[in-house]
Amino acid sequence: MAIPTAELHVHLEGTLEPELIYQLAERNRVELPWAGIEDLRTRYDFTGLQHFLDLYYANMAVLRTEEDFADLTRAYLARAVRAGVRHTELFLDLQAHTGRGVPAEVVLRGVDDALGASEAEYGVSSGLIITLLRHLPGEAATEALREALEVDVRLLGVGLCSAETGSARPFREAFELAAAHGLHRVAHAGEEGPAANVTEVLDVLGAERVDHGIRALEDDAVVERLAAGRVPLTMCPLSNVRLQVVGSLDAYPLRELTDRGVLVTLNSDDPAYFGGYVDDVYRETAAALGLGTQELAALARNSMEASFVSEVRRAELVAEVDAWEAGLREA
């Protein structure tokens, strides 16, 4: 049985599998530039973040209707359930869709409907985090968040992703707006960018969690700050290897961070692109680093501690990890 987890760093659009890309292209009569699914798959060999992002945004062209967004969300949830996901805080790159002329309402309603149904069908709790795009101007981010806030759907938080270039300062206004509406705040930083970017999103955006944050290791003071403040890192080892942020999974600095008191969680990022869902991430990372049952259970409990659920839900989730661990001891 897969270890029960809370998934805290997964981009909905990063779960768009090649098969679904082709199904949606046919349904929406979108011309794709590839010779077929296999040809598309040959392009998943990335030299870095921007190389990946170019294909990731291009593939989104097939997502057009409320039904498309609901189908994508349902497909992710069905796979996530098999991966042991019991709670998910899902990133949505809203601007990547509104920028192509798909109204925010279409996107948000499709995703929200499917998330609501999953609670009843699978018992998976969920929240939606609108990830603002760092390669676009700060004003565009604020505008996108305003549009999202006008739609009658549940929002959990706001995030920041895409190319890690330039300052995060232009996004301060959007993050302040989010806070004023009671939304949680997270941000990608220290993936391709330096440790100073981690400090910046904490100080300027009030980030409660840092997505990736692996390059914090280049500055002891930043690591100490993360540890002292119990600021979680949502780490994505398969992503970091595929985007050449780290050389190999064997060299992944997970224990270095946990030994120094940082609250680390394991996540998939863009599972359709990086070779695995969160169960694969746990299994492959465990195999590469020799993590045992206790260490895996501790990582799963970290995901619950780092999540934005209520205390009651948190206790339920942690009890599921306890039961998983006890079951393995008996076996």
Residues near ligand HPA (CB under 6 A): 11, 14, 49, 56, 161-162, 188, 191, 239, 269-270
* CA-closest candidate to residue 8, choices 127, 94, 175, 132: 127
| Choice between 195 and 321, CB closer to Zn ion | 195
* CA-closest candidate to residue 4, choices 328, 327, 322, 321: 321
To ligand HPA, the closest distance from the beta carbon of 14 in angstroms equals 5
| Choice between 297 and 299, CB closer to Zn ion | 299
* CA-closest candidate to residue 213, choices 183, 234, 182: 234
To ligand HPA, the closest distance from the beta carbon of 11 in angstroms equals 4
Q: Is 38 a catalytic residue?
A: no
Compute the distance between CA of residue 130 and CA of residue 148 in angstroms, rounded to an integer.
Answer: 8
Cα distances (angstroms) measured from residue 100 to each of 41, 63, 142, 258, 312: 24, 10, 18, 41, 40
Q: Does 269 bind Zn ion (CB under 5 A)?
A: yes
Query: Which residues are 130's β-sheet partners?
Result: 92, 158
Residue 14 interface partner, choices Zn ion, ligand HPA, none, CB cut-off 5-8 Å depending on type: ligand HPA
To Zn ion, the closest distance from the beta carbon of 268 in angstroms equals 9
Compute the distance between CA of residue 273 and CA of residue 268 in angstroms, rounded to an integer.
Answer: 10
To ligand HPA, the closest distance from the beta carbon of 299 in angstroms equals 19
What is the number of the residue whose Cβ is closest to ligand HPA? 161
| Choice between 185 and 188, CB closer to ligand HPA | 188
Question: Would you say 130 and 94 are in contact if contact means Cβ atoms under 8 Å apart?
Answer: yes
Residue 84 interface partner, choices ligand HPA, Zn ion, none, CB cut-off 5-8 Å depending on type: none
Chain residues in the site for Zn ion (CB under 5 A): 269
